[in-house]
């Protein structure tokens, strides 16, 4: 075959893998948004079977043949940039997975689905012992996988690479140390301040049907395309992409905590915008996804915090909110509302944490994950060590497993190495905003007038359109001119909370 014929055959082969992945995503969506409990086991089997097929195809002799043929130096000269990057990604996945026995991988995927279902019940009953045996097996599988991949300087680096290519424990330790040194005294100053915002009015009942209308409206305002997505309800909000034309988000409506619902919806909308704006040239290729979880999280946190928690954003939308809330806030000034939604205090639940204390929640999980995979911690000891870390970083101790170690779905889903991306994404988001202001100096004026188009366009131009065509650190460097720099986030939080709490 000619090079063009090999490329065409390879792309057709990869397209089939992507079609299987879309089917898996659809099955997972249904599993997490309302599949009957009695159907969970069979659905997990279906997901396992489809995942096994993807695994086999990505590690097949046929895939190896394509990789060998298209990585030949003389052939590489004839390939487009997109084809080169596709091959590079296929090779990394092949090398990563070929050492794992297919049956073992299938059993692991089935275990993941079962564990996530058990987690829901364990969380409801606040009983870690229900989840413990599943989690022990998941950790054992991950440890085996690390052995298959080859032991690195730090075993946890192997898991970080799954979500944040190019970042290592050494680099993240440095970033997190800088953040922690700046955040802990800032949190202490906020707690000790005599100018605490009043926020009791935020607990007033906000009808769920009105919340739904407002959430749909605000998603449209930030640019989310409902012709390419939908909003549903689930226990743990998430975004899931089938393809750029079908990017779905969920939220959790809470009648007496509507602001968490709104901000959570905007957060998932930020994830969705990233996926909806990926270049259509990349559809059907492994490049049609976010380049890393940290870059992905930078987009959700950018919209949630730098837009959704800003005074400028609410100066435009506050009257709408007052109307939808039956004018419960008619006597509450915009400034008091702004201070209330940005009030900070140490709390137990990560997804409900304010933007100041949020990174410390991530550091708790990061420390535990490092310890688990470097044999310094056992699964059975997670609840106790979790509580110790929460007390060390945030000065509070969970009363039960539900508000402690069981609050997140990530570990039952096998997503070890994922959590650091949340805090890294926050660092990236602040860095992106700093760069954006150079091109859009009237950033706040645009928010005050409800004109977000140029802001979203900047993000799409510098980040979204590339999917995973560029590596995360490459993307960050090109968009901002720097490597990861936590100082922009620390400066933002220090200035914002000094003003809110009148330091």
407-453 pLDDT per residue, tens: 999 999 999 999 999 999 999 999 999 999 999 999 999 999 999 99
Which pLDDT score, from 0 to 100, does residue 372 have? 95
152, pLDDT greater than 70: no
| Average pLDDT over all residues of the chain | 94
Residue range 371-394: mean pLDDT, rounded: 94
Q: Which residues belong to the active site? A: 268
Beta bridge partners of 240: 248
Q: Has domain 184-348+427-500 been given CATH number 1.10.1370.30? A: yes
Distances (CA, A) of 140 to 136, 145, 264, 482: 6, 9, 33, 38
User: In this predicted model, what pLDDT tens digit does every residue of 33-87 receive, in sequence order?
Assistant: 888 889 988 988 999 899 989 999 999 999 999 999 999 999 999 999 999 999 9
Residue 420, helix vs strand vs coil: helix
> Which DSSP letter does residue 198 get?
P
Local confidence band at 105 (pLDDT 50, 70, 90 cut-offs): confident
User: Annotated binding residue at 271?
Assistant: yes
| CA–centroid distance for 268 within its chain | 9
Which pLDDT score, from 0 to 100, does residue 99 have? 87
Q: Is residue 263 within 8 Å of residue 235, measured between CB atoms?
A: no
Tokens representing residue 297 in the block:
């999280």
pTM for the predicted model, two decimal places: 0.90
- Strands 246-251 and 239-243 come out as antiparallel
User: In this predicted model, what pLDDT tens digit does every residue of 291-324 receive, in sequence order?
Assistant: 999 999 999 999 999 999 999 999 999 999 998 8
Which pLDDT score, from 0 to 100, does residue 408 have? 94
Burial of 101 (0-12, 13-18, 19+ CB in 10 A): exposed
329, pLDDT greater than 70: yes
Q: How far apart are CA 93 and CA 88, in angstroms?
A: 9
Local confidence band at 199 (pLDDT 50, 70, 90 cut-offs): very high
Sequence-ordered strand ranges (E) for 160-255? 229-233, 239-243, 246-251
Which pLDDT score, from 0 to 100, does residue 313 have? 98
151, pLDDT greater than 80: no
Beta bridge partners of 246: 243
Q: How far apart are CA 206 and CA 203, in angstroms?
A: 8
The residue with tokens 């490329």 is: 7
Which pLDDT score, from 0 to 100, does residue 223 have? 96
Alpha-helical segments (H) within 286-357: 293-301, 311-324, 334-341
Q: How far apart are CA 281 and CA 11, in angstroms?
A: 13
User: In this predicted model, what pLDDT tens digit does every residue of 227-280 receive, in sequence order?
Assistant: 999 999 988 889 999 999 999 999 999 999 999 999 999 999 999 999 999 999
Which pLDDT score, from 0 to 100, does residue 334 have? 96
Which pLDDT score, from 0 to 100, does residue 503 have? 84
Which pLDDT score, from 0 to 100, does residue 376 have? 85
């Amino acid at each position: 075959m000619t090079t063009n014929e090999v490329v065409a055959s390879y792309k057709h082969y990869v397209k089939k893998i992507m079609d299987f992945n879309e089917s898996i995503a659809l099955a997972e969506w249904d599993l997490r948004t309302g599949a009957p409990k009695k159907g969970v086991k069979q659905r997990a089997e279906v997901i396992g079977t489809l995942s096994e097929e993807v695994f086999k195809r990505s590690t097949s002799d046929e895939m190896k043949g394509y990789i060998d043929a298209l990585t030949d130096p003389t052939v590489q000269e004839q390939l487009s940039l997109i084809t080169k990057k596709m091959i590079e990604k296929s090779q990394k996945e092949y090398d990563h997975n070929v050492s794992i026995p297919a049956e073992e991988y299938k059993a692991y995927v089935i275990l993941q689905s079962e564990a996530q279902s058990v987690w829901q019940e364990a969380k409801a009953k606040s009983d870690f012992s229900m989840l413990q045996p599943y989690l022990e097996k998941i950790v054992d599988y991950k440890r085996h996988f690390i052995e298959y991949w080859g032991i690195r300087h730090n075993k946890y680096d192997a898991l970080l690479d799954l979500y944040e290519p190019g970042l290592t424990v050494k680099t993240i330790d440095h970033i997190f140390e800088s953040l922690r040194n700046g955040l802990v005294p800032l949190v202490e100053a906020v707690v000790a301040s005599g100018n605490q915002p009043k926020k009791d009015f935020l607990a007033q009942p906000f009808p769920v049907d009105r919340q739904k209308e407002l959430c749909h409206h605000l998603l449209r305002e930030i640019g989310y395309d409902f012709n390419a997505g939908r909003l549903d309800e689930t226990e743990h909000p998430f975004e899931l992409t089938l393809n750029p034309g079908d990017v779905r988000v969920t939220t959790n409506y809470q009648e007496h905590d509507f602001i968490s619902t709104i901000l959570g919806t905007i957060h998932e909308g930020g994830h969705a915008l990233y996926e909806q704006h990926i270049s259509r040239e990349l559809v059907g290729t492994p490049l049609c996804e976010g380049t890393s979880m940290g870059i992905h999280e930078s987009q959700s946190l950018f919209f949630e915090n730098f837009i959704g928690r800003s005074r400028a954003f609410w100066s435009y939308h506050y009257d709408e909110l007052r109307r939808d809330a039956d004018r419960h806030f008619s006597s509450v000034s915009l400034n008091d509302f702004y201070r209330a939604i940005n009030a900070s205090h140490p709390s137990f639940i990560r997804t409900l944490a304010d933007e100041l204390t949020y990174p410390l929640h991530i550091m708790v999980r990061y420390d535990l994950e490092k310890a688990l995979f470097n044999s310094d911690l056992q699964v059975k000891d997670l609840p106790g060590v979790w509580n110790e870390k929460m007390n060390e970083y945030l000065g509070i101790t969970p009363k039960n497993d539900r508000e402690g170690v069981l609050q997140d779905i990530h570990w039952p889903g096998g997503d070890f190495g994922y959590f650091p991306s949340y805090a890294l994404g926050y660092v990236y988001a602040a860095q992106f905003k700093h760069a954006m202001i150079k091109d859009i100096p009237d950033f706040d004026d645009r928010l005050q007038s409800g004109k977000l188009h140029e802001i979203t366009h900047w993000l799409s131009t510098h980040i979204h359109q590339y999917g995973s065509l560029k590596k995360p650190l490459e993307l960050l460097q090109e968009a901002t001119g720097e490597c990861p720099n936590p100082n922009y986030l620390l400066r933002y939080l220090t200035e914002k909370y000094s003003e809110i709490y009148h330091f």
